[in-house]
């Protein structure tokens, strides 16, 4: 049998660097801060770290607006710090995965500065331009952060495309010289020893804006194949494609086991269910539980043997899962564990977003304290559209990206042990109760549950290759499934809600081992307590 790829049996920890750990007392997390926490991550058991963008950037979208792809932003350190991080992580068998923003650059990138000079500047065609008449954009395409996706440049008498902020002009992947430059840049990082790349909004790189096509556009698969061949395929790297618009069909192409494109897809179908259909994420609705089960089942089944899933609840763009679909009050610990157990038994590569392993929660701030460009853009748009302020704030509390961006809670010391000075973003006031120091070593902690799940994945091959089967599909409260290989079966049973329910699942044989559960011990088989989750393993 062919040796499985390393990234199939690893757990990836995601770091939002500005909120992780501040080593030099300026209130902003940095690379040396990450280095100082590698032992903590080794204790957790993860073997790869995905770091959100640390390249040089004016920080209009917290680093997702890159002005120099081959340098580190001084806010985070320098190239030497990055080399130290790669080296120190390697000593602990941890690989560093970089976040690559290839769909757009910053408007302060040298290429864009040149591109704006004249229509026949060699860099002009690195971006997407359309002639127009001032005040009348080429069409009504909208930018993700509000307003038109077209920005007028008076000196040129042209508009450029930006699917995100005005300061994030879209790159023109139809230009082969641009593509070559991007590949060279990626190879620069490969030579430095990174373990792979997270490819930001990769399904947007090919587009046909004149016809309203913004994702999965013409030549996308060709560009991905070329990108892969010119870069990742030359080394044993992981490449993860962030694709909001992926379907299982597309995902099979992106993550084709022949390795011609990417390693895996990072898709969002399960995590966008709690919004009014056809509306925006801000238009809140309870999660449709049966639909949630159906979505997981479909992705688990369709990609089995034909692609590879990413498993995640949280990231830097999403609210905290324990506040979202668990209970961040009385059952915070149980529900955080339940959600972890539910996810980590599935097939794919699990991601843990910083603080998720502690059961960190959402935050409620006053409007002035929000920093996120998306949140502020939405607020402005909705106020102008006549929405009620309280309603907007409810959406922000539930879904703002800043929920995930508060400083990591290391201890009950001032500023949660994140920094010696006031951090760039408010610390969640619950840090005295929820912090790493109090959880590491405590067998009842959320941290311990994650630690165990990671250890189990390393120990039992059924996590890697067991086939998924959803149980009790119609049950309105219980999410249960099995994973089965030739000799073993894994059984996961989760009560997704806060009331005690009847356990609809048949009891496994008495020789079954309880691997992990969300309470101190499994209670009686017949009932499941609020947010009770159990994971069993047995031989067939
Ligand atoms: C991705 C990132 C997000 C960023 C956007 C634009 O969705 O995860 O944080 O704002 O791309 O680069
Ligand atoms: Ca710092």
Q: Summarize pLDDT for 256-315 with one digit per residue, the tens.
A: 999 999 999 999 999 999 999 999 999 999 999 999 999 999 999 999 999 999 999 999
**Ligand 1 mutation pick, 61, 171, 197, 205, max ligand atoms within 8 A of CB:** 61
Catalytic positions are: 200, 242
Q: How far is the CA of 258 from the centre of ligand 2 (A)?
A: 42
pTM of the model: 0.97
Angle at 231 between CA 226 and CA 236, to 5 degrees: 125
Question: 110-161 domain in CATH 3.90.400.10?
Answer: yes
Give the mean pLDDT of the chain. 96
Tally Cβ neighbours within 10 Å of residue 513.
11
Instruction: Give the phi and the psi of residue 528 in degrees, each rounded to 5.
Output: -120, 125
pLDDT of residue 523: 85
Q: How far is the CA of 317 from the centre of ligand 1 (A)?
A: 7
Q: Which atom of ligand 1 is nearest to the CA of 315?
A: 8
pLDDT tens digits, one per residue of 491-505: 999 999 999 999 999
Tokens 């056809």 -> residue? 278
**Ligand 1 mutation pick, 201, 318, 319, max ligand atoms within 8 A of CB:** 201
Pick the CATH number of 466-539 from 3.30.565.10, 3.30.360.10, 1.20.1250.20, 2.60.40.1180: 2.60.40.1180
Q: 2-103+175-447: which CATH topology?
A: TIM Barrel (3.20.20)
* CA–CA dist 5, 2 (Å, integer): 9
Locate the domains of the chain by residue range: 2-103+175-447, 110-161, 466-539
DSSP state of 177: H
Smallest CA-to-CA distance from 117 within 89, 86, 158 is with 158
pLDDT category of residue 2 using cuts at 50, 70 and 90: low
Q: Do domains 2-103+175-447 and 110-161 have the same CATH topology?
A: no
* CA–CA dist 537, 508 (Å, integer): 9
Indicate which residue's Cα is closest to atom 9 of ligand 1.
Answer: 317
> Please, are residues 500 and 540 in contact by the beta-carbon 8 Å criterion?
no
Smallest CA-to-CA distance from 375 within 335, 345, 405, 418 is with 405
The ligand with the least distance to the CA atom of 170 is 1
Indicate which residue's Cα is closest to atom 2 of ligand 1.
Answer: 200
* CA–CA dist 315, 81 (Å, integer): 24
């Amino acid at each position: 049998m062919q040796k499985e790829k390393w990234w199939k049996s690893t757990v990836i920890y995601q770091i939002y660097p500005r909120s992780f750990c501040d080593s030099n007392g300026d209130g902003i997390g940095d690379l040396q801060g990450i280095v100082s926490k590698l032992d903590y991550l080794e204790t957790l058991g993860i073997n790869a770290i995905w770091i959100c963008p640390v390249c040089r950037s004016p920080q209009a979208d917290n680093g997702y607006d890159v002005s120099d792809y081959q340098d580190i932003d001084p806010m985070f350190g320098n190239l030497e710090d990055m080399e130290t991080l790669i080296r120190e992580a390697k000593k602990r068998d941890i690989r560093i995965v970089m976040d690559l923003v290839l769909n757009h650059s910053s408007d302060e990138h040298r290429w864009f500065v040149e591109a704006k000079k004249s229509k026949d500047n060699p860099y002009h065609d690195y971006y997407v331009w359309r002639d127009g008449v001032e005040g009348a954009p080429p069409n009504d395409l909208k930018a993700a952060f509000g307003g038109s996706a077209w920005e007028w440049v008076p000196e040129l008498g042209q508009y450029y495309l930006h699917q995100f902020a005005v300061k994030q002009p879209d790159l023109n992947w139809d230009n082969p010289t641009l593509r070559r430059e991007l590949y060279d840049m990626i190879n620069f990082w490969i030579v430095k020893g990174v373990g792979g790349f997270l490819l930001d909004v990769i399904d947007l790189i090919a587009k046909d804006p004149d016809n309203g096509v913004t994702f999965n556009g013409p030549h996308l698969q060709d560009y991905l194949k070329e990108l892969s061949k010119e870069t990742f395929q030359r080394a044993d790297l992981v490449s993860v494609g962030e694709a909001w618009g992926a379907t299982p069909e597309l995902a099979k192409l992106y993550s084709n086991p022949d390795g011609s494109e990417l390693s895996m897809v990072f898709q969002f179908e399960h995590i966008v269910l709690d919004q009014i259909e056809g509306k925006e994420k801000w238009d809140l609705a309870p999660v449709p539980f049966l639909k949630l089960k159906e979505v997981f089942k479909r992705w688990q089944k369709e990609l089995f043997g034909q692609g590879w899933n990413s498993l995640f609840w949280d990231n830097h763009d999403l609210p905290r899962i324990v506040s979202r679909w668990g209970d961040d009050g009385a059952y915070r610990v149980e529900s955080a564990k339940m959600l972890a157990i539910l996810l980590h038994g599935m097939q794919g590569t699990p991601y843990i977003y910083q603080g998720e392993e502690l059961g960190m929660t959402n935050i409620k701030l006053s409007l002035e304290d929000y920093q996120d460009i998306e949140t502020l853009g939405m607020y402005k748009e909705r106020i102008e559209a006549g929405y009620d302020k309280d309603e907007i704030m409810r959406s922000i509390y539930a879904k703002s990206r800043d929920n995930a961006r508060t400083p990591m809670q290391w201890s009950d010391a001032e500023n949660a042990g994140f920094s010696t000075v006031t951090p760039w973003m408010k610390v969640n006031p619950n840090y005295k109760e929820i912090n790493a120091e109090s959880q590491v070593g405590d067998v009842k902690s959320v941290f311990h549950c994650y630690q165990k799940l990671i250890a189990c994945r390393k120990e039992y091959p059924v996590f890697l290759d067991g086939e998924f089967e959803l149980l009790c599909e119609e049950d309105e409260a219980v999410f249960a499934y099995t994973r089965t290989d030739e000799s073993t079966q894994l059984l996961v049973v989760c009560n997704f809600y806060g009331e005690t329910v009847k356990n609809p699942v048949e009891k496994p044989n008495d020789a079954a081992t309880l691997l992990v559960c969300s309470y101190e011990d499994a209670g009686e088989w017949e009932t499941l307590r609020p947010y009770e989750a159990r994971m069993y393993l047995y031989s067939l």
